[in-house]
Amino acid sequence: MSASQGDWTLAPAAPPRAASAGALEDPAWVRLGLIAGALGFLGLFLVLPLATVFSEALSKGVGVYLAAIADPMALAAMRLTLLVAAISVPANAAFGVAAAWAIAKFEFRGKALLVTAIDLPFAVSPVVSGLIFVLLFGAQGLLGPFLREHDLKIIFAVPGIVLATMFITFPFVARELIPLMQEQGTEEEEAAASLGASGWQTFRRVTLPNISLGLLYGIVLLNARAMGEFGAVSVVSGHIRGVTNTLPLHVEILYNEYQGAAAFAVASLLAMLALVTLVLKRILEWRMGRSASAA
């Protein structure tokens, strides 16, 4: 839009450009063909699956849909998913803020290495993310004998699910905040500090308002992944119904038992979570774009 509009406004002032304006615009048939191609691809790969989740969920009627969602096992899975998110989201958000503060506001050796290390979990297969905790805390694991002695259970129990989820979602907030805080520099915090504000006051009154949108953005993505993670959680969960089944695992069990409509009913909850995530993400992007251009 900006390119072609800029050209339109320029055209009267500089006549020779009028000829090149046509050369910047693709011919209509190219434009329509490319738009049709892109929309066709996205329709087939995104819209059709999304619509299928809801149509399959309601394929046996509203009664089956509601029964699947109100099922005690589904409710237990919901509770566990919420619990896992309630632990891993604040923990990783706190980590992200601390890491971004240290990395963005100070110079130290090995910083590039630290930033790469924070990205590591994104490069690890979800299954491997689960496996490493089985190797540590499982019955055959390094700490297995110790845990058995003290009657502690991590693998095939809730703590393992929380740990695997925390590992998987580890980089989200840090990744969002590090570039943002680096861009914002340190002047405002230095001014606050020179006026006698304590570290905590500086953070709460100066830094936090500046990063709040970016922080929220990271949290929205982190939460979506924490609630939706499947591979890592499936390895450490043990699939004990009503105890260690999260919502995605519950979907898997129902699907494998040929309860398609029920599986899709529970899946539709997760799809709605995804849609809410996309809406929040878009609103935050829009507001960040606004504040960036205003600044």
Partner 1 sequence: MPIETRRRSVLPGFGTTLGFTLAYLSLLVLIPLAGLFLKSASMTAGEFLAAVGSPRALAAYRLSFGAAFAAAAANAVFGLLVAWVLVRYRFAGRGLVDALVDLPFALPTAVAGITLTTLLAKNGLVGRVLEPLGISVAYTPLGVAVALTFIGLPFVVRTVQPVLEDLEAEIEEAAASLGAGRWLTFRRVLFPTLWPALVTGFALAFARGVGEYGSVVFISGNMPGRTEIAPLLIVTKLEQYDYAGATAIAAALLVISFALLLGINALQRFGSRRLVGAGDAA
Report CA 201 to chain centroid distance, whole Å. 29
Question: Does the footprint of partner 1 cover residue 281 (CB under 8 A)?
Answer: yes
Question: Does the footprint of partner 1 cover residue 194 (CB under 8 A)?
Answer: yes
Structure tokens at 22: 């046509």
Binds partner 1 (CB under 8 A): choice among 68, 77, 93, 118: 118
* Of the candidates 227, 109, 256, the residue with the CA atom closest to the CA atom of residue 168: 227
In Å, the largest CA–CA distance within the chain is 86
Binds partner 1 (CB under 8 A): choice among 18, 75, 86, 278: 278
As measured in angstroms, the least distance from the Cβ of 201 to partner 1 is 10
**How far is Cα 259 from Cα 152, in angstroms, rounded to an integer?**
35
Binds partner 1 (CB under 8 A): choice among 216, 252, 262, 284: 252
Question: Does the footprint of partner 1 cover residue 208 (CB under 8 A)?
Answer: no
**How far is Cα 73 from Cα 105, in angstroms, rounded to an integer?**
47
Subset of 160-179 contacting partner 1 (CB under 8 A): 163, 166-167, 170
As measured in angstroms, the least distance from the Cβ of 83 to partner 1 is 17
Amino acid at position 280, single letter: L
Question: Does the footprint of partner 1 cover residue 53 (CB under 8 A)?
Answer: yes
Question: Does the footprint of partner 1 cover residue 65 (CB under 8 A)?
Answer: no
Listed ranges 60-68, 145-153, 193-201, 210-218: which one lies at the site for partner 1 (CB under 8 A): 193-201
Are 156 and 140 within 8 A, CB to CB?
Answer: no
Subset of 67-106 contacting partner 1 (CB under 8 A): 95, 98-99, 101-103, 105-106
**270-286: string of b/e by CB count within 10 Å (b at 16+)?**
bbebeeebeebeeebee
Q: What share of the chain is helix, strand, coil (3-state, %, to 5)?
A: 80, 0, 20
Question: Does the footprint of partner 1 cover residue 156 (CB under 8 A)?
Answer: no
